[in-house]
Every structure is written in C-alpha cells, then in structure tokens.
C-alpha cells in the first residue's frame, strides 16, 4: 500500500510518515499543494492524507483538481478543529474522510486502512476472535457450533469490539460509535449492554473473550 502524506508542518509530516511506515505502508511525504497535485497525477496511491492549510495550493484546491481529473484515490483531510465549513466543503468536493487536529497517529492509521479497504471493495464479511465468529452480511453470531441470538444493539456493540479486537475501547468511544451520540456519563446503558452481551457470548464458555479493564474500558481478546 502506497500513501501520500501532504503536510507543510515538517515535524507533523515526519511524525505521520514514520507512524504510517511502521504499519508497513510505503509513504511519500510532500510539503506543499502543488507538489502534492503533481505526485497524485503521476503516481498511483492507495490513499492520500491531505492537510487543508498548505502553501502554494491549499488542500481543498488539490482535492477539487484531482477529482476534476477523475483521480478517485481515497482522501483523508486534516484540518483545524471546529472548522465546520471547511469540513463540509471538503466532503462536497469528494473527500472520503476528515480528521480534525490534533489527532492520534493510531486514529490516522485506522482511518487510512479503512479508506483503502473501502476503496478496494474488500469487505470483511466474517470477523473472528477465538471460536467466536460474526458474519456481518447475514448478521449471524456463533460461538463454536452454537448460534447466538443478538439484538441489533448487541450486534453493533459486538461488531465494534471485534473490529478492534485486542484494543481497549473506552466507554466514550462505544457511546459515540455504537449509540452514535453522547449522553450523560452517569448513565449505565453501556455497562448494561456489555453485561447482556457477555452473558450471551461468554457464560459457561472458555476462554472468556469480553474483558472489562477497570477504569479504562473493554477489550475483546482470548487471553486473561
Ligand atoms: Ca498546514
């Protein structure tokens, strides 16, 4: 996978390049919009990480021009936090995703991978952790040979946890991604749903797969 990073802040650019390179991506880094456009029009990239505020030609102009020239490479835009108009304009121009600064390198890597997956049409239909499998097409969950009946919410929760297996997921992230909104942190709706899900997938079975990490969140994994 070859990725172009366009970022004029040298330090941030190197940080992005090194972070993505560690994930075995081939990374080219350029610091201005004109150089970016020249690269995009001559090289085949799997994804472009494109800052908006750039010298020469800004990121939105690069995006507009590449789409005009029918280059459909997925684009992840980077921009200053809170600039909603910029974000809307970017998405209208054909950006595939948007990340406000400051961001974590893990977030950039996850988004770039998701973009490439989507673009290549390789959708994962079955996710697997130990003997637990989740078929996201026919929406079937199995633990070993046993079928597990899930509500829509439990399915969405399990899908999110399995897609991030091995990583600790905070309650806040679950609220945002599974419930798609923020609510009062006093609520225990996440805990309740986790408990129900755990009963269905782990009760009477070994190894346990859904773990609570006290004070941090939840993780799907085989060990511990
Ligand atoms: Ca910039």
Please check whether residues 14 and 31 belong to one and the same domain.
yes
Query: pLDDT digits over 119-165, tens only?
Result: 766 556 788 899 999 987 788 999 999 999 999 899 989 998 998 88
Judge whether residue 182 has pLDDT over 80.
Answer: no
Please check whether residues 21 and 113 belong to one and the same domain.
yes
Total domains in the chain come to 2
Please check whether residues 107 and 55 belong to one and the same domain.
yes
Domain boundaries, position 186: 126-220
In the listed set 72, 90, 120, which residue is the last one of a domain according to the structure? Answer: 120
Please check whether residues 32 and 103 belong to one and the same domain.
yes
Q: Burial of 77 by CB count in 10 Å (0-12 exposed, 13-18 middle, 19+ buried)?
A: buried
Range scoring the smallest mean pLDDT among 4-13, 23-32, 201-210: 23-32
3-state secondary structure of 90: helix
Judge whether residue 185 has pLDDT over 60.
Answer: no
Judge whether residue 112 has pLDDT over 80.
Answer: yes
The CATH code of the domain that includes 153 is 1.10.10.10
**pLDDT for position 43:** 85
The model carries a pTM of 0.56
55 Cα to the center of ligand 1, angstroms: 8
29 Cα to the center of ligand 1, angstroms: 13
Q: What is the mean pLDDT of the chain?
A: 88
52 Cα to the center of ligand 1, angstroms: 6
What proportion of the chain, given as a percentage, has pLDDT over 90? 50
Query: pLDDT digits over 14-69, tens only?
Result: 999 999 998 878 899 999 999 999 999 988 888 999 999 999 899 999 999 999 98
d(CA 137, CA 57): 42
In the listed set 120, 154, 188, which residue is the last one of a domain according to the structure? Answer: 120
169, β-bridge pairs:
218
214 Cα to the center of ligand 1, angstroms: 38
Closest of 145, 147, 169, 167 to residue 157, by C-alpha: 169
Please check whether residues 79 and 112 belong to one and the same domain.
yes
Rounded to the nearest 5 degrees, what angle is found at the Cα of 23, between the Cα atoms of 19 and 24? 120
- Is the distance from CB of 34 to CB of 56 less than 8 angstroms? yes
Please check whether residues 89 and 192 belong to one and the same domain.
no
SS3 readout for 166-201? CCCECHHHHHHHHCCCCCCCCCCHHHHHHHHHHHHH
């Amino acid at each position: 996978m070859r990725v172009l990073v366009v970022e004029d802040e040298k330090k941030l650019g190197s940080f992005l390049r090194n972070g993505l390179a560690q994930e075995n991506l081939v990374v080219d880094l350029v610091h201005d919009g004109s150089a970016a456009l020249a690269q995009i029009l001559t090289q085949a990239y799997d994804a472009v990480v494109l800052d908006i505020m750039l010298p020469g030609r800004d990121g939105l102009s690069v995006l507009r021009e590449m789409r005009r020239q029918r280059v459909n490479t997925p684009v992840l835009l980077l921009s200053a936090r809170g600039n909603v108009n910029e974000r809307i304009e970017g998405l209208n121009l054909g950006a595939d995703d948007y990340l406000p600064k400051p961001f974590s390198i893990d977030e950039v890597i996850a988004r770039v991978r998701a973009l490439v997956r989507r673009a290549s049409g390789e959708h994962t239909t079955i996710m697997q952790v130990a003997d637990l499998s989740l078929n996201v097409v026919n929406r079937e969950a199995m633990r070993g040979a046993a079928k597990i009946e899930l509500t829509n919410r439990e399915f969405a929760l399990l899908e999110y946890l399995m897609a991030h297996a091995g990583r600790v997921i905070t309650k806040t992230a679950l609220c945002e991604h599974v419930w798609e909104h923020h609510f009062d942190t006093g609520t225990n709706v996440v805990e309740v749903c986790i408990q129900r899900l755990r009963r269905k997938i782990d009760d009477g079975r070994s190894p346990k797969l859904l773990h609570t990490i006290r004070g941090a969140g939840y993780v799907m994994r085989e060990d511990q």
